[in-house]
Amino acid sequence: MTLFFDIIKLEVESKGSDSLFMTILEDYYNVKTYNKLQKIKYKAINGKSWLLNPVPLFDRKLADISYIVQYIKLAGRRNYQIYKAYNIITLDISFYPNLILDTIKNNPLLTLSNNNIHFKFEDIFLNKTNKGRN
């Protein structure tokens, strides 16, 4: 399932708090997916940012919350039309010269190769989806 949101609006709503960032996104996901909540508290974060496989990211035991938030913030800057047209799920860092690469290299959920950031759970999701088509 693809989760669409606006990364800039999410960053503003969370006011710099990683914990609030994750709470808002998870609540938003639950509303969009399961309609469990009666009131759409965070509909203000509708947008064109996207994640292919968001569910594992809501497991706070997965990794330090700062790594999870970094993953989402970077993934949220990709272009969905490029993914749909070319099946590209990476982020080309040449468009983001101000990124601090050391923090990306230390994140166990991200891999940096050939000027591209790879997202662990999307790589897994895409590999499973493509195997099912063969």
Residue 51 contacts residue 3 (beta carbons within 8 Å): yes
Residue 110 phi/psi, 5° resolution? -125, 150
> Could you report the per-residue pLDDT of 9-48, keeping only the tens digit for each?
999 999 999 999 999 999 888 876 665 554 455 567 889 9
What is the token pair recorded at 27?
């609540």
Question: From the first residue on, what is the mean pLDDT of each consecutive set of 10 residues in the chain (134 residues)?
Answer: 92 95 89 57 80 89 92 96 93 92 93 93 68 47
